[in-house]
Structure 1
Amino acid sequence: MRKNKLWLAFCVAGILGHAECFAQRIEFQEPIKLNDSINSDAEELLPFLSEGGGRLYFTRAFHEDNVGGRYAGSDIWTSNYENGSWQAPHNELVPWNNKENNAVIGERQQGDVVYLLNAYKGKKGISFSKNVNGKWSKPETLTIPGLKTDGFVGFYVSPTYDFVLISMNKNGGYGQEDLYVSLKDQSGDWQEPISLGGTINTAGFEISPFLSDDQKYLYFSSDGHDGYGNADIFVSERLYGSWTVWSKPKNLGPIINTSYFDGYFSIYGDTTSFFASNREEGYLDIYTSRVKLNNKDVLQDSVQRIIDETKRLLSDLKKDDEMIQVSSSVLEFLSFDFNSSELDKKLENSLDKVLKRIEKDSIFKLNLISYSGDSQDRSINYTLSIDRVQNVVGYLTQSGMDESKLDIEIVENPKRLEKARSGVEIRAQVIDE
């Protein structure tokens, strides 16, 4: 009876997690094109809402009032929201704008530092400017090793300044521009960018990345995933806290996307989104769409009942005299062909056995530990480890396995595995009698 109670508690907790996730799904209202103060006869793109929502930064190209004139580059323009509308914008941002291509790509949480895409002092890439006594300082360069800045490149710097999302065309990528992330090491230095992997990146281009406030949902534009036209906006959920394991990208649908170019999407506080589109043909214009949470009210009562039931079950468990004991053991080891991440029939049969064991035994979670030593190139091994474990996760979930019961770990030391060789080790967490 005790085992059944605990198993039910884990099941209820899993249902609750999915209910909360479902309650947070969002719907977009019909987009509204911003007024003529923002959209002109030139091209407007890269909208970015400041901390607090009172100021909109955007980039304007092919405009005669830009610092370098109509054809010398693009400027950052800014507009304040007053009396229910966006006011006439200006580009009198002397430290930021020059004859190159300029854009705001992030802002620190406190609003006192703005991150910029530009080429200052001959160094193309990322810069930052500080607000000191109400004035913006001259941009300073932010150095990221392995950053490829020739060709088309785009960035998003997080408000917490602990990661940078990058769009660039780099050797060894999946196609044209791919999405990467650069993280800080323990010393606070930026690390070389790593690819977000084959779930996100395609043979086409992936550009204009933006991450939600909770760091769970990635928005980007692509012509490599199935869409409606030239480029569509997609969203993908970040899984297991990993930067390389993502859900299948979901198209935001025909309300947002058209047969033309749609991109440079950003969302704020789950209430307002901005993006750029040339759906009226010609140059890009900036649009906004209000956001509403879907089914939140409908699920409120059900969620509360689940919470109450979970509390009751946990209370019953506490009354039990026995201590809860959980053990971990190797359930299966998947040995892949050399330099391959494909699941052959033998591996699929092994995974089918795992699924049967889950039904039979009191297994409430699986640990998938992936290691590759197939190549002398560390980055290739890492990518292969990711691809292998993604295929395993895909097979298990498509067969009915709950994602919340999967933990993912990528290791670079084979000693972490019982078999001490390349493959994916599946460990089962089991409730002891």
Structure 2
Amino acid sequence: MYKCLIISILTWFSCIVSVYAQAIPKEARNYLEEGKIYYDGANYLKALDSYLGAYKFVPNDPGVNYSIALCYIQTYSYDKALTYLIPAKKAGIKDPLLDYYMGLAYHANSNIDEALKSLTAFQSTLRSSDKELTAQTAKYITYCNNAKTLMLTPVKMTITNLGASVNSAYPDYNPAISVDESTIIYTSRRPNSTGGLISEMDGHYFEDIYMSNKQTNNSWGTSIQIDQTINTTSHDACVGLSSEGQTMIVYKDDGGGDLYYSNLSGQNWSKPISFGKAINTDGWEACGNFSPDGNYLFFVSNKKGGFGGTDIYYAVKNAAGVWGAPVNMGPEINTKEDEFSPYLHADGKTFYFSSQAHTSMGGFDIFQSTIDLSMQPIAVKSKPENLGYPINTVGDEIYFVWSADNKRAYFSSAREGGLGDKDLYLLERPVAKAALVLLKGTISDCKTKEFIQASITVTDIESGKLIGKYVSNSSTGKYIVTLPAGKNYSITVEAKGYLFHSKNINIPKLEEFKEIDDVICLDKIDIGTTIVLNNVFFDVNKSTLRKESETELDKLFDILSKNPKIKIEVAGHTDSDGDTQANLTLSDARAHTVKDYLIGKGISADRIIYVGHGEGKPVVPNDTPENKQLNRRTEIKILEN
């Protein structure tokens, strides 16, 4: 997937082998000649195989060692190059770029002091006309200095390999998780890749997408390859997942590389659909992620007009579900280098991304910043902060995705002790904060107990603003909703042919992460069915309807409009506080107010009756403030249909 800048090697490289090959055996010489042909044709992987073949016969030959090192450098395996650069330099290989390569190789092996020595020595040889090399050398010296600073104060954490049920002997990367961490979807390059094709660029099989679900013992189940609706004979990579796990962002190697989305219906993913010309351009759209509410798409592009190579952009989805024109995240996030893998945490404000700039200690490091979605363009409220060492290393750290409680991250890395190439890992840190509620559970039919697909609408009660829309899975009934602290939420669950279910969740302040498990069932629109209007509110000790009640009453109006034969009873209830007769009068007046609201919207008066029960029909004992709140309610009962 990655498109990187290739550093040119001096054209006299081909002379190196011939100079040092005078006393080389015939078998080795054949390998060297073959390697030179491949190298001159920029096929560095095949050239490497040939030079390694020669190395078996002449492991001490400086020209062979240097040839191997240059192949590793051309394929960005700087860490592997060091083994061959050291003997080549000791033997007297002369190349104006040698100290530069030594610096890159020492840096890749976390030998920062030696890297600085080599880079500084090389820097002293540069002329004013060597602008590109001057800039590159200065960048790596900065990386080294950043690394020295960050390595002085390592972050407390543990890193665990996700194991053989997920990882393989082949590259496994790009983890995407549902916000409850029950599902992980990732990209792998295994021999059973759809089509079985091998990339000439890096020698690996083409990308396919795999999935694993967490088991009851908290381990990951055996991964399965997603079917050919998603995986094709070309490159297919999962680069993002919606918070509830129902929509996947897929990278396809079309044209310059574009982004698609696929929706999960039951157990089946839909055929990927392009995000369209608003998002995809003639450039490279490499990866993306949704905001927790699904209303923002953060993505990476190298299209013209950015600050550097790849920049992070965002687009906003309108009420019709159409993505608006992309907006660059601005110079607070984007730099003249590359930015990658954006991820907005479930709290809706903590923004993670990878960057080769800012205070990176080498390649891509993970940074976090606070953003404000309520402002347009999005406001960056804090300077990007490096997550520290050893979360970040001298290599590339990209595609970190974080748990809702902010304590765990999933990422890919090629580390010692892995199962093969890149593996997926779990990072855990002991201290983290996340001021949000994770509401999750299942939705089913109250009578049959069968799971159903329902829509969940989240609204800010005070402003009436739509926060987000979510969908439960039709096969499992599972739903997940994230609720950042600081708002009073109206939650409405709806499905065709059913009465809606509502909840009120008020989260004015929250110091830490909280989970709420709520199993919801919906009743069909049948005679005798009763629902509670949990988001209908009145002024204290009055029957005056508060404005924030209108969203819920409008949903009731919608049901009555679409079902003209329905007749209902509106029943008001109070708790046991105060005078019994006063409570009866108040409940009757409140029920009447609801009837009047519906009549005012256009519902015929003869379809609605109202009654007040006062404190006479409690659903729970009036012995706690919480129970009293449950008893203060407005109910709707279906009388005719």
Normalising TM by the smaller chain, what interval? 0.5 to 0.7
Pick one of 216, 227, 232 that aligns with 1:98: 232
CA–CA separation in structure 1 for the residues paired with 2:268 and 2:307: 42
The residue aligned with 1:22 is none
Q: Given that residues 108 and 114 in structure 1 are in contact (C-alpha distance below 8 angstroms), is that contact kept between their aligned partners in structure 2? A: yes
Pair 185,266 (structure 1): closer, same or farther in 2 beyond 3 Å: same
CA–CA separation in structure 2 for the residues paired with 1:159 and 1:41: 33
Pick one of 141, 163, 168 that aligns with 1:40: 168
The residue aligned with 1:199 is 332
Letter of the structure 1 residue corresponding to residue 327 of structure 2: I
Pair 144,244 (structure 1): closer, same or farther in 2 beyond 3 Å: farther
Alignment partner of 1:52 is 2:163: no
- Quote how far apart the aligned CAs of 1:171 are: 1.2
Pair 266,108 (structure 1): closer, same or farther in 2 beyond 3 Å: closer
What value does the CA root-mean-square deviation take over the aligned residues?
2.8
Q: Given that residues 107 and 158 in structure 1 are in contact (C-alpha distance below 8 angstroms), is that contact kept between their aligned partners in structure 2? A: no
- Normalised TM-score (structure 1): 0.56
Percent of matched pairs sharing the same residue: 29
Q: Given that residues 123 and 141 in structure 1 are in contact (C-alpha distance below 8 angstroms), is that contact kept between their aligned partners in structure 2? A: no
- Quote how far apart the aligned CAs of 1:217 are: 1.1
Higher relative contact order (CA 8 A, sep 6+): 1
Q: Given that residues 369 and 385 in structure 2 are in contact (C-alpha distance below 8 angstroms), is that contact kept between their aligned partners in structure 1? A: yes
- Quote how far apart the aligned CAs of 1:253 are: 0.4
Pick one of 344, 348, 361 that aligns with 1:211: 344
- Normalised TM-score (structure 2): 0.39
CA–CA separation in structure 2 for the residues paired with 1:202 and 1:163: 22
- Quote how far apart the aligned CAs of 1:220 are: 1.0
DSSP 3-state at the match of 1:96? coil
Pick one of 358, 372, 386 that aligns with 1:251: 386
Equivalence map 1:173-192=2 (5 Å): 173-185=306-318, 187-192=320-325
Pair 184,55 (structure 1): closer, same or farther in 2 beyond 3 Å: closer
Q: Given that residues 178 and 242 in structure 2 are in contact (C-alpha distance below 8 angstroms), is that contact kept between their aligned partners in structure 1? A: no
DSSP 3-state at the match of 2:252? strand
CA–CA separation in structure 2 for the residues paired with 1:190 and 1:240: 16
Gaps of 5+ in 2: 1-154, 200-204, 435-508, 510-641
Q: Which has the higher strand share?
A: 1
Q: Given that residues 199 and 246 in structure 1 are in contact (C-alpha distance below 8 angstroms), is that contact kept between their aligned partners in structure 2? A: no
- Quote how far apart the aligned CAs of 1:191 are: 1.2
Higher CA-based Rg: 2
The residue aligned with 2:192 is 65
- Quote how far apart the aligned CAs of 1:152 are: 5.8
DSSP 3-state at the match of 1:45? strand
Letter of the structure 2 residue corresponding to residue 68 of structure 1: G
Q: Given that residues 197 and 244 in structure 1 are in contact (C-alpha distance below 8 angstroms), is that contact kept between their aligned partners in structure 2? A: no
Pick one of 431, 444, 449 that aligns with 1:293: 431
The residue aligned with 1:148 is 281
CA–CA separation in structure 2 for the residues paired with 1:57 and 1:133: 16
Q: Given that residues 367 and 386 in structure 2 are in contact (C-alpha distance below 8 angstroms), is that contact kept between their aligned partners in structure 1? A: yes
- Quote how far apart the aligned CAs of 1:170 are: 1.8
Equivalence map 1:241-390=2 (5 Å): 241-242=374-375, 243-270=378-405, 271-280=407-416, 283-294=421-432
Q: 1:360-396 CA distances to partner (integer Å, 9 max, x unpaired)?
A: xxxxxxxxxxxxxxxxxxxxxxxxxxxxxxxxxxxxx
Q: 1:320-375 CA distances to partner (integer Å, 9 max, x unpaired)?
A: xxxxxxxxxxxxxxxxxxxxxxxxxxxxxxxxxxxxxxxxxxxxxxxxxxxxxxxx
Q: Bigger CA drift: 250-259 or 47-56?
A: 47-56
Give aligned pairs, total.
269
Pick one of 53, 78, 82 that aligns with 2:211: 78
Question: Which consecutive segments of 4 or more residues in structure 1 shift more than 4 A?
Answer: none
Q: 1:150-175 CA distances to partner (integer Å, 9 max, x unpaired)?
A: 33611112343211111111212111
CA–CA separation in structure 1 for the residues paired with 2:243 and 2:401: 16
Pair 28,246 (structure 1): closer, same or farther in 2 beyond 3 Å: farther
Q: Given that residues 235 and 250 in structure 1 are in contact (C-alpha distance below 8 angstroms), is that contact kept between their aligned partners in structure 2? A: yes
Letter of the structure 1 residue corresponding to residue 248 of structure 2: V
CA–CA separation in structure 1 for the residues paired with 2:279 and 2:368: 26
Pair 209,56 (structure 1): closer, same or farther in 2 beyond 3 Å: same
DSSP 3-state at the match of 1:238? strand
CA–CA separation in structure 1 for the residues paired with 2:282 and 2:165: 32
CA–CA separation in structure 1 for the residues paired with 2:180 and 2:357: 35
- Quote how far apart the aligned CAs of 1:227 are: 1.9
Q: Bigger CA drift: 183-192 or 228-237?
A: 183-192
